[in-house]
Every structure is written in C-alpha cells, then in structure tokens.
Chain A
C-alpha cells in the first residue's frame, strides 16, 4: 500500500472532525427543551438539554411514552412524580409537570431551517419610523421578554439589517405556531386602565408589580356558555398586583365618584384598553371607593364556534393580556412585513424529497463519471470527494449553528456541482493528457489556475447575497461559499494526490 500524503491525511482528519461535529446519537429518551424560570423544577436543578430516561419507573423512549407517563401521573392518587435523567434523579410532589417542555432527541447536531422543520418566521419593522440599531435592539429585548412570558420556548429574536440600511427584527418560532401569532408579534401591546379620561395604570413594570398566571386560585377560566347567535363564549379572570403609585392613583380618582342607583357600584367603570381599543369594562364596587388597593381582578372573554374552540381562544386571550400587562408596551407601532408559518408535516415531506434528490444526484453523477472514464477507482475517488465536501460543509454549518433551510441545501448541492467540475478539470489536465511536450508540473499549474479562478468567481458572485434582503437568502450564499472553500482548501488537493496514486 502506497504511503498517504499529507494532503490526504488532512482530508482524513477533517472528515473525522466533521463526523465528531455532526455527532450522530443513538440515545433513547426525550430531551428537555425548556424549564420555566423560578418554577419548582427549575429550582431543583432541572435544566434544558437533560435527557429524561424514566418517569415513575416507566421507561421513556419516545414523546408518546412521555405524554403517556405524564397523563398516568396526572390521574394517579399519589401526588408524586419521579424523574430519572441520564445522571440524576428528581422527585416532584405534584400531579403534573407543566413547567417543563420536552422534545425528541435530535439525531445529529445539524439543525434544519423552519421551511423544513416547521414553525413561524416574521420580519417586523416599526411602522412609519426609521429606527437606529440601538432602538431595534431595545425592541428585540422587549419582544423576547414578551414571547417568553407568553410561554413560547423555542424562539429566537434577532435584529437584521439590509443592504439599504433598513433595520428589521426577525422572530423565529420552531415547532407549532400559536394561532394568534400576528396579534402577539404585530401589536404594540399598549395596555391602559382608565376611569373616565384618567389613566389609572398601564401595562409594564412601572405600574404592575405582578400578574397571577399559573396559579388556579387567582387566574382561571370561569365558565363557558352558548351564545344566542350560535357559538360559545367563555370568560376568564385573573388578579393583577399594582405597585403603590398606581394603587394610590386609583384611590385618588375614585375618591370623589358618586355611587350608582343601586348603591353597590360607582357610576364610572374601569375601562381596559389594548392599543387604544376597549377590550372590557369593569364595575367598581362601592367598597373600593377611595381605597388604596393593590390587588385588582381583571376579567374578559373569548368566543369560538365550538366550546372547545372558545375555551382555547379564551385561554389564549387571557395569556396575551397577562403578557402585555407584565411586559408593557413596545416603544413603536409595528408592521409585520413578512410572516411565514410552515406546517411541520409539510416540512417533513419536503425534507424527504430533498434527501431523495441528493441521493439521486449522487447516483447520476457516479454513473456518468463511470461511463466517461471507465475506471471504477477514479469514479470512486470523485464520489468520495463529493461526499467529503458535503459532510465537511454540513459539519461547519453545525459548528456555526446555522439552520439549514431549503436554500442552504441547494447551496450545498451547487457547491458539490462546482466540486465535480473541478475534479473533471484535474483529471483531464493532469492525467488524461499524459505525454506531449509539457511537463506534468505545468499541467497541474494550469489546472490550479482554472480551479482557483472558478473559486474566486463563484465567491465574488455569491458575496452580495450575504446582506441582501435582511439576510433571507444568506444560507444559500453561505453554504455555497463554505462548500467551494472546503473544496479548494481540503478536498481538491487531496483528490489531486489520490488521482496521482491511482494513475501512477
């Protein structure tokens, strides 16, 4: 066996590193995706990324097992859940584990984009306002806080800038999309509670000390009933704890208000507005007149075609109102300029299609190369190089935590196409044209000239895409550039040496 050259060794090492980077796992269980802050689970030390192996002695190997185990625990008499993770055991004295969200263990470290895994993506900008980078950053942090308060776990919010200097905010939510995503993201969320024309309190930290959320004793859906015109309506109620300033203001405003004819309530109501739209009005009981009260009960309702739907909508209305009260108003009116929601099922269908495509491309190129060169070893070398390039590119994508969307994968396939072209040049220049009055050195030099030229033209051509259109097509440019760079730095030199060895 011939000695391997340094260039071939570099390729082998790069491949091993790539395999480590992609690191396929065959672990069973479910992975914890998020843990609600300051919850019991959080305080016990459960962290996202841990893998649950057992619940109450029952082995967990899939999401179905998990939900099965959780519902068993929920209906059991004993208020205790034992969780066994890979290295630790936890005990909860409760019936359910709503503060934890779990997901499937990813098979590799390669992350797919929303168009393949499902989820929602929104591009948002302030309406009629040109904003600076720091203002966009403020917007990003308030929005993140709001989405977290809403209970969404797998969310990224980031600022983006385009070629023309416009600032945007991009929100990506993996998995299933909340139904009212447009309201949640697009509304400013300015909450005001008014009596007459005077504002008693607003949403946000300045006036609101806390909002009761997951505690059923102070936040709940109070009931549902059918509507006369068809459909159902449900009502909710939750407690809001005001800061002293707001409570004092409430006392000052109500002090001089008269009682109504029944004597039970004041003549003025407390009106609730979200983004200047009245959402509800509450009667103020006579006992509260002039009182410094820090606890206020907020009510509201939601409707739907069926009782189930009404219940769901009411839950989500309540959740949104609670979120707005807690996090306050966004500094600007927002415009959703792009909103995509991708069904996870459709994404899975597409992923399958893309895999089939990649495999067909591989096979077709192999057959064509074999027909042309009639040498199994040479064909094999080209295929191996193509495979290495794709694998190293994927590993780099995993390393920089790039989410591979369909366009990124198109970039990888195109990069492989460039790679094959280069290899054909190497074979034809340095090998097939043996003899003649040129030295092999001259031929290799010329092949290199062509390959380096092709490399720089493709990089030059793709470069502007990294910034255009708020970076929406960055993946395509990025994977192409990574792919051809891997080609020219790692796989092409190794391939040239392999060909030399094969051809002798």
Chain B
C-alpha cells in the first residue's frame, strides 16, 4: 500500500502547513488591529453612512472623479450582467448622510434621483456600532454553542478540540485574507461567518466519526475513505457558492458577500480538516490503539 506509506511519512509536515498559515493569519490580524483598532474594515451597514445604488449604466471613472471633489471618501463600483455585459447599476458608498450624497450625485450626473431610478440605504453611526457589537457577540455565542454540541457528540477532549480548532481556523484565515485584500465587510458578511461555523464542521465531524467509530480497515484507510466523501462534499458546496461570482453577478451585494465568505471558509476548511484535523486524529487513534 503505497498510499499508506506516503501518508505515514508526510502527515506531520502536512499537519504543520495549515498551522503556519493560521499563525501568519493571527499575526496579521493582530497587526491589523494595532493599526486600525478594529478586526475588519466595516462597510457602511456597520460603521454608518450611505449606499446609493443607481440603476443604469454610467461612466464610473468620471463620476468618481467629480464626486471625490466634494466627498473625499466616496467609493464607486458597477454591477453588470456577466453573460451579456449589460451594466445594470452603479453602487456609490460614502460615510456622509444621504442629504449630502444625493445632491452631489445629482449635480455630477445632472439627473434627479428618485425612488424609481435609485435605492438608498442609510445607517446611522450609532446603530452601526451597535449592530457590529451585537454581531460579534453573536459570533462568540455561536462558536461556544457549536463547541458544546461537538463536546456532547464525541465526549472526548482531543478529537473535540481538534474540530473546534479547525472551525476557529476556518474563521481566522478568511478574515485575515479579507483584511489583506481591503474588502469591507457588511452585517450580512458577519452573518456568513456565523454560518461558516456551522457549515465547515460537517467534514470534521465526518472524519472524526469515521476514524473513531468505524471498525473496518486501518486508520489510514478510514481517513482516506472520509476524505473521499468529505472532499466531494466541500467541492459540491464550493460549486454551489461560486456561481455567485462567475455566473450571476446581478444580485444584491450583501447576498454576494455571504457566498464570498462561505467560499473562502470552505477553501480554508479543506486545509484545516484534511491536513491538521486528520493529523491530530491519526495521532490520537495511534495513541489510543485504535486500528
């Protein structure tokens, strides 16, 4: 069994790779926090401000340069249909109130904004802080509840901690990456992190159950069997979330971010489950004399 020998030889190295990525992510998040005083870049739904979505196609570059004169922190991006290239809307975001942003856009485009041609989302700064705080609290509660479920399921310390660590790393890695790319996270985005907590442990539960509770085959065979099932699960899930980027782009931004974060989390989960968690569970099975 070549396969077996190969895994026995390299599983410790494989175990280390995600740990290193995890540590880099943690260090990055610490320095990010020291620099910005926050863990993420918050979008206007969490920091306060206005998002105006204008229907139709516009010259984004010239609109941006003329808006920047009066509102320096404005940011603009377009949404277009990927298949036909048809531009359907422009999203304009800023920390100012709609009373300031609207007239600026109106004078830049020389058209009047109505509730027919545009959508306006305004969040007050106090509410943004409030939302943010609560979503972070929810995230922590969510993580604790998930951990409890895992402990109740497996009733042994090391396998449970391995799963919980994988779930934690599934959050930390995408978070660091989003910060690195400078992506602003919305309230819906944080909700996606909560879902990730529940979603990503599927494969870890599968792995641990197969190794601990199955009596057929060797530990390596069981890990490999779990891998075959689990990686297919993750690939299917990834394929379900990816069309939101590559196929259908005319969907609300909040909706899209949910899928982006789930996709990043699922990628991270491949590493954290099949490199780290698998390594720990293999070591644990060896120690307990399971074979």
Q: Which residues of A contact B (CB under 8 A)?
A: 115, 118, 120, 123, 162-164, 166, 176-177, 179, 335-347, 349-350, 352-354, 356-357, 360-361, 364-365, 368-369, 372, 406-407, 409-410, 413-414, 416-418, 420-421, 424-425, 428-429, 433, 436-438, 446, 449-450, 453-454, 456-465, 467-470, 472-473, 476-477, 480
Report if B63 contacts A (CB, 8 A): no
Q: How far is the CA of A437 from the CA of B217 in the complex (A)?
A: 10
Q: How far is the CA of A177 from the CA of B114 in the complex (A)?
A: 9
Contacts of A344 in B (CB 8 A): 116
Q: How far is the CA of A224 from the CA of B232 in the complex (A)?
A: 71
| B199 contact from A425, A446, A453, A458, Cβ within 8 A | A458
Rounded to whole Å, the gap between the CB of A394 and the closest CB of chain B is: 17
Rounded to whole Å, the gap between the CB of B124 and the closest CB of chain A is: 4
Contacts of B214 in A (CB 8 A): 438, 446
Contacts of A407 in B (CB 8 A): 188, 191, 254-255, 258
15 interchain pairs, CB-CB under 8 A: A162-B134, A164-B133, A342-B119, A364-B239, A420-B233, A420-B237, A425-B233, A433-B216, A449-B209, A457-B146, A460-B145, A461-B142, A461-B143, A468-B135, A477-B194
Q: How far is the CA of A123 from the CA of B130 in the complex (A)?
A: 13
Rounded to whole Å, the gap between the CB of B119 and the closest CB of chain A is: 4
Interface-centre pick from B187, B209, B255 (highest chain A CB count, 10 A): B255
Q: Given that A342-B119, A464-B194 are contacting pairs, would A450 and B205 also be in contact in the complex, using a CB cutoff of 8 Å?
A: yes
Report if B177 contacts A (CB, 8 A): no
Closest 5 CB pairs of A and B: A461-B198, A458-B198, A353-B250, A464-B138, A460-B145
| A472 contact from B98, B148, B187, Cβ within 8 A | B187
Nearest CB in chain A to that of B228: its residue: A428
Report if B225 contacts A (CB, 8 A): yes
Q: How far is the CA of A253 from the CA of B237 in the complex (A)?
A: 76
Rounded to whole Å, the gap between the CB of B95 and the closest CB of chain A is: 15
**Interface residues as binary, B212-236 with A (CB distance below 8 Å gives 1, 0 otherwise):** 0111110000000100110011011
**Interface residues as binary, B117-149 with A (CB distance below 8 Å gives 1, 0 otherwise):** 111111110110011011101110111011011
Q: How far is the CA of A123 from the CA of B126 in the complex (A)?
A: 12
- Contact indicator A410/B259 (Cβ below 8 Å): yes
Query: 7 additional contacts, CB 8 Å, given A365-B236, A464-B138?
Result: A343-B118, A344-B116, A349-B88, A352-B250, A364-B240, A407-B254, A457-B201
- Contact indicator B117/A343 (Cβ below 8 Å): yes
Q: Given that A438-B215, A446-B213 are contacting pairs, would A368 and B195 also be in contact in the complex, using a CB cutoff of 8 Å?
A: no
Q: Given that A413-B240, A446-B214 are contacting pairs, would A339 and B188 also be in contact in the complex, using a CB cutoff of 8 Å?
A: no
| B195 contact from A340, A347, A461, Cβ within 8 A | A461
Contacts of A473 in B (CB 8 A): 135, 187-188, 191
Contacts of B119 in A (CB 8 A): 340-343, 346-347
Q: Given that A457-B205, A463-B145 are contacting pairs, would A354 and B198 also be in contact in the complex, using a CB cutoff of 8 Å?
A: no
Nearest CB in chain A to that of B202: its residue: A454
Nearest CB in chain A to that of B152: its residue: A456
Q: How far is the CA of A349 from the CA of B143 in the complex (A)?
A: 36
Q: Given that A343-B118, A346-B89, A450-B209 are contacting pairs, would A420 and B255 also be in contact in the complex, using a CB cutoff of 8 Å?
A: no
- Contact indicator A337/B126 (Cβ below 8 Å): yes
Q: How far is the CA of A437 from the CA of B117 in the complex (A)?
A: 67
Contacts of A463 in B (CB 8 A): 141-142, 145
- Contact indicator A462/B250 (Cβ below 8 Å): no
Rounded to whole Å, the gap between the CB of A382 and the closest CB of chain B is: 10
- Contact indicator B142/A462 (Cβ below 8 Å): yes
| B236 contact from A336, A353, A420, A459, Cβ within 8 A | A420
| A163 contact from B134, B145, B202, B258, Cβ within 8 A | B134
- Contact indicator A469/B215 (Cβ below 8 Å): no
Contacts of A345 in B (CB 8 A): 55, 116-117
A-side binding surface: helix, strand, loop or mixed?
helix
Q: Which residues of B contact A (CB under 8 A)?
A: 53, 55, 88-89, 98, 115-124, 126-127, 130-131, 133-135, 137-139, 141-143, 145-146, 148-150, 153, 187-188, 191, 194-195, 197-199, 201-202, 205-206, 209-210, 213-217, 225, 228-229, 232-233, 235-237, 239-241, 243-244, 247-252, 254-255, 258-259, 262
Rounded to whole Å, the gap between the CB of A215 and the closest CB of chain B is: 29
- Contact indicator A460/B55 (Cβ below 8 Å): no
Nearest CB in chain A to that of B249: its residue: A353
Q: How far is the CA of A9 from the CA of B116 in the complex (A)?
A: 48
Contacts of A115 in B (CB 8 A): 252, 254
Q: Given that A177-B115, A349-B89, A462-B142 are contacting pairs, would A449 and B213 also be in contact in the complex, using a CB cutoff of 8 Å?
A: yes
Contacts of B138 in A (CB 8 A): 163, 464-465, 467-468
- Contact indicator A361/B146 (Cβ below 8 Å): no
- Contact indicator A424/B229 (Cβ below 8 Å): yes
Contacts of A414 in B (CB 8 A): 195, 199, 258, 262
Q: How far is the CA of A338 from the CA of B120 in the complex (A)?
A: 11
- Contact indicator A176/B115 (Cβ below 8 Å): yes
Interface-centre pick from B116, B143, B228, B252 (highest chain A CB count, 10 A): B252
- Contact indicator B229/A361 (Cβ below 8 Å): no
Contacts of A369 in B (CB 8 A): 236
Contacts of B127 in A (CB 8 A): 123, 337-338
Contacts of A372 in B (CB 8 A): 232
Q: How far is the CA of A424 from the CA of B244 in the complex (A)?
A: 23
